[in-house]
A and B are shown apart, each in its own frame.
Chain A
């Protein structure tokens, strides 16, 4: 009987606790895509080179050269320093929220200081660029070059060249695209067309791209 009574009390307590939790005022939800996370500066002693050796190299090239093997991870060698810096800050602030950013770079970037971000940007941008993969379909690459340089005016697709440079080497915060993994470029373009990755400019520029055009542009850029 005593056991029964204590059981009843316990069940009641659990039910009460559950109700209390349910009725507790919900914490206000942070605005989507807003500046919600401010990571305190890390007193870490790791400089950029040590960070590359200990952390970045596990995905972006084991020797620290910024040339990744798997297209899951972008090649960072010779990337524009302004772009690397901007993206790392976006990762740290969780303002870039495509699925892969959430899965990988949110965690990696959360403790980086401004100095470390700047150092990493300088480090990777000064690595020699990766040589592109020779195209297996020159006609497709040629079509991609046309789109890259001229866009498709009749369908309101603007050229990539003015922002990304005549050789796709990148300009300021506009990234280098030359020699990048084909699949990585395609994934990012799909994330822009699907509005999974933030960028009003790229949403607009890519919204009319067809699958064939994405294949052509990425074929061209990967081969450069």
Chain B
């Protein structure tokens, strides 16, 4: 038995090694056969290397933040067509090449315990996934006129096997000559994605290290409890107006509306296991205030953001509801970041704390909710370090607690979860990243995770622990 066990271990090790060798061989092959450097769309437009805008993609540098606040329009590239009127205002400004880019993510996952593949316990269970690609995006980005720029993304994801609209934004921006005032208006489909600091939830930095990006299966499809407004991406759309004063104070106001009125969203509640669908009712305001101070190689930011959303649940725990019930969510988030962008060393500390107040419709209490008001508190802390933009890693800690609501969350009623992400990175090129990641789960939805539901013999959060070997390319 022992012998068989160790042989099994050796086989697993050999397989892990084989996958690693495959990925390394692929990169070596590209090294010898591809002399051209891969360049993403913004770099094509500006002629700047990735490090101008990013410490490590997607985290923005001070320059990258200004590039975005100015509507992605910075370029010194001669336009293909430029026409001006008698007042020397541009009437047409067209780039000589379209800003097209490709994003590719591939991953190999090894789960601590094989996730079940179906509702039948143990059926076809496997401990490994190899997804090539795991995610594949087409990005069109850059200046559209001399004052308007955009970022349009279509993404294929492996578990669903479909292409869909991802983050989309078009913004207009202008500024005074001395840059004391920069202002803009924009439309986008993901609250917070217009932000330039990576400490907010909608910005991809933290999602990049999140298990849901790299692994499918496991707890995927039954996402962890989290603040409501973090899950609205692509389900809503709306306008934002913002100002950026003296290179230090940012204020923005947005209004979001359901992308399709009455559309059913599947993962839109802090208890994703219980609420299966619904829609945002009317307009939901989103606000953002931030202060940045830069000195030497350093930049620090403190800020707050929030959203007030009325939500009509249509399906709770498999029960279709009559229309007319409205739950109200108030999310208030406080974030901060410190960034050191030096000659050789880059490090950053990012964090946010979000408090959510969820008022449940009286008609749904106590049938679906024990309380008329529920609260959720979420901490998200990240530290990163990179040397020469080539070697480094990050640690991400997530802690979520909340009001016990037995009817809503089931079990002992707590929505808590707790996990850590440890990541090591190697970037042979700035737009080519190999990643070794280990996700450690301490608490998963108060341990009411799908593994418990499907595999009662293994009721442990650590069953979800995942080792990921990832590849990320942007070209």
Contacts and interface: CB of A to CB of B under 8 A. Distances in A.
Given A39-B78, A53-B175, A104-B48, 18 more contacts: A43-B78, A44-B76, A45-B90, A49-B177, A50-B177, A51-B76, A53-B178, A58-B66, A64-B178, A70-B62, A70-B341, A72-B297, A103-B48, A103-B51, A103-B52, A111-B77, A111-B78, A183-B343
Given A102-B49, A104-B52, A112 B76 contact: yes
A202 interface: no
A44 B49 CA distance: 23
B247 interface: yes
A187 B297 CA distance: 14
Contacts of B51: 103
Contacts of A104: 48-49, 52
6 contacts: A40-B78, A42-B76, A45-B90, A54-B70, A54-B74, A69-B295
Contact of A63 (B43, B180, B342): B180
B111 interface: no
B296 A70 contact: yes
B294 A70 contact: yes
B82 interface: yes
Interface in B73-115: 74, 76-79, 82, 84, 88, 90
A122 interface: no
B178 A63 contact: yes
Nearest to B73: A54
Contacts of B178: 53, 63-64
Interface in A104-149: 104, 106-112
A70 B63 CA distance: 10
A26 to B, nearest CB: 9
Interface size class of B (residues with CB under 8 A): 35 or more
Interface in A6-20: none
A150 to B, nearest CB: 29
Interface string A31-61: 0000000011011110001110111011100
Contacts of B77: 110-111
A165 interface: no
Contacts of A42: 76, 78
A53 B146 CA distance: 14
Interface string B284-301: 000000000011110000
Given A44-B82, A59-B63, A70-B297, A110 B76 contact: yes
A64 B177 contact: yes
Nearest to B182: A62
A109 B74 CA distance: 13
A107 B70 CA distance: 18
Interface size class of A (residues with CB under 8 A): 20 to 34
A59 B47 CA distance: 15
Contacts of B43: 107
A62 B180 CA distance: 8
B179 interface: yes
B312 to A, nearest CB: 44
B76 A107 contact: yes
B67 interface: yes
Nearest to B343: A187
Indicate the member of A43, A51, A58 with the most B CB atoms within 10 Å: A58
B46 interface: yes
Contacts of B341: 70, 72
Contacts of A54: 70, 74
Contact of A107 (B46, B79, B297): B46
A50 B88 CA distance: 13
A144 B76 CA distance: 39
Contacts of A43: 78, 82
Contacts of B67: 58
A151 interface: no
B351 to A, nearest CB: 23
A50 B177 CA distance: 7
A82 interface: no
Contacts of A51: 76
A42 B95 CA distance: 13
B38 to A, nearest CB: 15
Contacts of B79: 44
B179 A64 contact: yes
A69 B296 contact: yes
Interface in B113-172: none
Contact of A103 (B49, B62, B180, B246): B49
Contacts of A106: 47
A218 B102 CA distance: 44
Interface in B1-48: 43, 46-48
A108 B48 contact: yes
A133 B35 CA distance: 44
